Chains A and B, each alone.
Chain A
Amino acid sequence: DAMVIQNPRYQVTQFGKPVTLSCSQTLNHNVMYWYQQKSSQAPKLLFHYYDKDFNNEADTPDNFQSRRPNTSFCFLDIRSPGLGDAAMYLCATSRDGPGRETQYFGPGTRLLVL
């Protein structure tokens, strides 16, 4: 089945220690998104790639970076995680857009910062 895959499902890191979260997709979609979701809140968009074009949201901290080496994979790098970065991180894809297209989400990676 075509899908969005996130690894790992749970990630524990130490305060200030860089961490990378992974996302892959078998949908061959052009757009990949990274969201941060904190408890009982809506997903908050961090950035997205439209093919190779990177689009950062204005309020995304510099601490968050992303890489998309090919169509299938996208990575979220947190350079110096703080306690406030503990959250669920969701990857999503859409065939085109963004906008006017359904986004399909992966299962998420829950990040714990000690």
Chain B
Amino acid sequence: GESVGLHLPTLSVQEGDNSIINCAYSNSASDYFIWYKQESGKGPQFIIDIRSNMDKRQGQRVTVLLNKTVKHLSLQIAATQPGDSAVYFCAENMGYSTLTFGKGTMLLVSP
């Protein structure tokens, strides 16, 4: 069967709280970043992206912040809901290379 999986970092929040999920990326030359949400048994779902010429981008209830100085990316979810419970992956890309995924963070939202 499958090899034993790694334990994912987990963030537990209460419904209605704001959530912040962090990601340290590896390549200082990366110029495009994406956040994906993956629910159990499903494929990753695009949430929001940001290019390296920006440091902040907002979507519906989500904000991505990019700090290129320390190679850090964060996803902020406002008024977290139980339906936000999932694993969140950041992914980075440089030029025409393929995406490199981070390790993932599990978000658990309790009612």
Contact = CB atoms under 8 A, between A and B. Distances in A.
Interface in A27-42: 33, 38-42
Contacts, number: 78
Interface string A80-114: 00011011001010000111101111111010110
Given A105-B45, A108-B43, A110-B41, A100 B1 contact: no
A38 B103 CA distance: 12
A19 interface: no
Contacts of B93: 98-100
B86 to A, nearest CB: 13
Determine which residue in A83, A98, A113 has the highest number of CB atoms from chain B within 10 A of its CB, and name it: A98
Contact of A40 (B7, B32, B97): B7
Nearest to B42: A107
Given A90-B44, A100-B31, A105-B45, A45 B3 contact: no
Nearest to A42: B101
A86 B1 CA distance: 5
A48 interface: yes
Interface in B24-53: 31-32, 34, 36, 41-46, 49
B61 to A, nearest CB: 19
Interface of B: 1-8, 31-32, 34, 36, 41-46, 49, 89, 93-99, 101-104
24 contacts: A6-B43, A33-B98, A38-B3, A40-B5, A40-B6, A40-B8, A40-B104, A42-B103, A42-B104, A45-B98, A45-B99, A84-B2, A87-B2, A98-B93, A98-B99, A99-B32, A99-B98, A99-B99, A100-B93, A100-B95, A100-B96, A102-B49, A107-B43, A110-B41
Interface of A: 4, 6, 33, 38-43, 45, 48, 83-84, 86-87, 90, 92, 97-100, 102-108, 110, 112-113
